[in-house]
Structure 1
Amino acid sequence: MNTVPEVPGILYLRFSKAGGGLPDSAGHEGLLALLGALTPVVEAAPPDGALADVRGALRYFGLDVRGLASVIRIRALALHGVDCAIGAAENPMLARMAARRAAPGTTFVVPGGGAAEFLADRPAAALDGVGAATARTLCAYGLDSVGRIAAAPLGTLQRITGVRTGRELWERAHGIDRTAVLPGAAARSIAAERSFPRDELDRERQRRALMSLTEELGARMRGDGQVCRGLAVCVRYADRTGYSTLTRTRTLREPTAHSAALTALAYRIHDSFALQRARVRGIALRAEGLMESERAAHQLSFDPVDERARRIEAVADRLRDRFGPRAVMPGRLAA
């Protein structure tokens, strides 16, 4: 019996100001309200994105997905001065991946039933949930593309990466995503941004901005009893076309809110851009995969330096709660 392919009715939108950079928190809220006027099923993905289930809106307005995406882009540009890169697919994972392929002002659509073709030539690291370490492990076995991962037997993937991870990897490589768009859900990520008053070439100042971001996000997560599974660094820099944005995501060795671990990973991501003398205008940091700290597994450490650093961090958090966020800070930021 023939089945009708599912309509690509899930949108992932990446916002950027028309002149470059990310919208501020008020602008992001305005964009979410704009989407909310079209569909009630909208999930925020700060600092620069949103998920929307528009299947009902497509029927209501009598538009196809490209037509509705055009309406959203025009309204966002006219009302908020924000451009949108939009990915459309049949589930959130595919929509996020499609949005990464879309340039600002364009829509990339993965047609219903077209997941296998879309995913086949993508590198292993492009798949949701695959960090740098897992990608290296898969590549060592010749599984360097999503198509090759999908062709591998489930048992083989489970022997390489573990039972649970192998199952999730196999499903994602086949375009299966069991998550849904959750309006009003607790944030899965938190973000912060630092903008420079002028194009910044000094690498040390860029790294100080990164450290201040990791300190801020780490303190926020510890205060809320949360940890994150990974970090995304977004760098806005000047080039021949004006301003461009690069974003890269890496997975932590274990879920954490420890500022030192966050800073070390943020520095590694920053190094991977290899921008050299790039003129950087702003840096944003997003902590992804938030979860309750009590639910996270923690590798026991017998390193007294690490344990002492965590105790000092806890004391510093209490002092900041009492005397303000600048009461205690790393010496590198106090200069």
Structure 2
Amino acid sequence: MTILCVRFQLPPTREAALPELLGLLEEFTPVVEALPPDGALADLRGAERYFGRDAVELASVIRVRALALYGVDCVIGAGPGPMLARMALRDARPGLTRAVPGGGERAFLDGKPVAALPGVGTATARTLCEYGLDTLGRVAAAPLSTLQRLVGAKAGRELHEKAQGVDRGRVVPNGVSRSLAADRPFDRDELDPDRHRRALLSAAGDLGARLRAVDKVCRTLTLTVRYADRSATTRSRTLSEPTAHSAALTRTAYDLYEALGLQRARVRSLALRAESLTPAEHASHQLTFDPVDEKVRRIEEVADRARAKFGPRAVMPGSLAA
């Protein structure tokens, strides 16, 4: 086991602490890949030799130091590669590292549903299940030619390898990209989808206004849903073009939310994060020749001027003013 996948249990108000926590990981290895808003991958191959400890022992040290220095607990998965470490993280609990030992990949994977494999979406999982390939063990045992007929040549080969525990991923060192976040906590655990959508509308409008105020556009939008049991789901989407347009951000936020398929979920908070920010002057905008779109953008400019003069709540959608 040489790769750790760490998720720090950061409350929304402390997500800005991630760079400091990445610095903690970098005390053990320079090969750290940030996974905003609250996670990271760390390659410990050199660290295991240097410190004379295995990945699980180093994970315990990291957990203790994060608690002692920053008051932040974390959950950690360990595995021979990034994919397996990420999957192990899903089974981890605070105070206990879930580890997949080298040679134990098949034992770990075989009983898991096919949808648990990273990169397998809803449509692919449905297709595989229709042919009885509902677990990774059955996918691994299936002939490669069968998988390629079902999902395509390249995807079938990758699926076959991953189901057998072949993890070709690498940890790519990076920094935490500059980002802006808007969090919308609820007064109580919220079940109502309409209130969820209102929170997303508010957060997307806030992000758009702040991006335009600093002349930035974002390339990626990330939605984090936190539940009553303190678990969380994070989904990201790359936009078709970099934007600071509130309507485009809202549409993407709604799409991310709908894709989760939440049913009677008790939601504690919703957070949107605009990532991969670039100067607005360097961004291109595809002309639509849509008079409605142009009108909305002009209204947005007027609303921004009103907010700058009278405050952020001077202009807002009617559904939020009710």
Q: TM-score range by the shorter chain?
A: 0.7 to 0.9
Q: Provide closer, same or farther for how the CA distance between residues 285 and 128 of structure 1 changes in structure 2, counting only shifts above 3 A.
A: farther
> Is 1:164–2:154 an aligned residue pair?
yes
CA distance in 2, matches of 1:318, 1:101: 47
Structure 1 residues 35-76: Cα deviation after superposition (integer angstroms, max 9, x where no partner): 111111111101121100111111111112221111000011
Please state whether the residue corresponding to 2:77 is helix, strand or coil.
strand
Structure 1 residues 279-300: Cα deviation after superposition (integer angstroms, max 9, x where no partner): x43223568999xxxxxxxxxx
* Structure 2 unaligned blocks of 5 or more: 243-247, 278-287
Q: Where does 1:139-218 land on structure 2 (aligned, <5 Å)? A: 139-184=129-174, 192=181, 194-196=183-185, 198-201=187-190, 203=192, 204-213=194-203
CA distance in 2, matches of 1:100, 1:289: 26
Please state whether the residue corresponding to 1:82 is helix, strand or coil.
coil
* Structure 1 unaligned blocks of 5 or more: 1-7, 238-242, 291-303
How many positions carry a matched residue from both structures? Answer: 299
Which of 218, 242, 245 is residue 231 of structure 2 equivalent to? 245
Pairwise CA RMSD = 3.9
> Is 1:69–2:55 an aligned residue pair?
no
> Is 1:36–2:26 an aligned residue pair?
yes
CA distance in 2, matches of 1:162, 1:202: 39
Give 1:16 shift. Answer: 0.7
2:6 match? 13
Which piece of structure 1 moves more, 35-44 or 167-176?
Answer: 167-176
Equivalent AA in structure 2 for residue 39 of structure 1: T
2:113 match? 123
Equivalent AA in structure 1 for residue 143 of structure 2: P
> 1:119–1:146: 8 Å Cα contact kept in structure 2?
yes
Greater CA radius of gyration, 1 or 2? 2
Give 1:268 shift. Answer: 2.2
Q: Provide closer, same or farther for how the CA distance between residues 310 and 143 of structure 1 changes in structure 2, counting only shifts above 3 A.
A: farther
> Is 1:265–2:265 an aligned residue pair?
no
Q: Provide closer, same or farther for how the CA distance between residues 31 and 309 of structure 1 changes in structure 2, counting only shifts above 3 A.
A: farther
CA distance in 2, matches of 1:51, 1:129: 17
Q: Provide closer, same or farther for how the CA distance between residues 202 and 176 of structure 1 changes in structure 2, counting only shifts above 3 A.
A: closer
CA distance in 1, matches of 2:112, 2:299: 44
CA distance in 1, matches of 2:234, 2:154: 25
> 1:233–1:269: 8 Å Cα contact kept in structure 2?
no
CA distance in 1, matches of 2:179, 2:121: 19
Q: TM-score, normalising length from structure 1?
A: 0.73
Q: Provide closer, same or farther for how the CA distance between residues 184 and 130 of structure 1 changes in structure 2, counting only shifts above 3 A.
A: same
CA distance in 1, matches of 2:296, 2:43: 41
Q: Provide closer, same or farther for how the CA distance between residues 134 and 11 of structure 1 changes in structure 2, counting only shifts above 3 A.
A: same
1:240 match? none
> Is 1:108–2:89 an aligned residue pair?
no
> 2:114–2:125: 8 Å Cα contact kept in structure 1?
yes
> Is 1:283–2:273 an aligned residue pair?
no
> 1:14–1:84: 8 Å Cα contact kept in structure 2?
yes
Q: Name the % identity.
A: 47
2:86 match? 96
Structure 1 residues 134-183: Cα deviation after superposition (integer angstroms, max 9, x where no partner): 21121112111111111222222222122222222222212223221111
Q: Provide closer, same or farther for how the CA distance between residues 332 and 134 of structure 1 changes in structure 2, counting only shifts above 3 A.
A: farther
Q: Provide closer, same or farther for how the CA distance between residues 215 and 65 of structure 1 changes in structure 2, counting only shifts above 3 A.
A: same
Structure 1 residues 218-238: Cα deviation after superposition (integer angstroms, max 9, x where no partner): 897xx657357xx6542232x
CA distance in 2, matches of 1:191, 1:105: 31
Give 1:27 shift. Answer: 1.6
CA distance in 2, matches of 1:110, 1:282: 32
> 2:218–2:274: 8 Å Cα contact kept in structure 1?
no
CA distance in 1, matches of 2:208, 2:147: 33
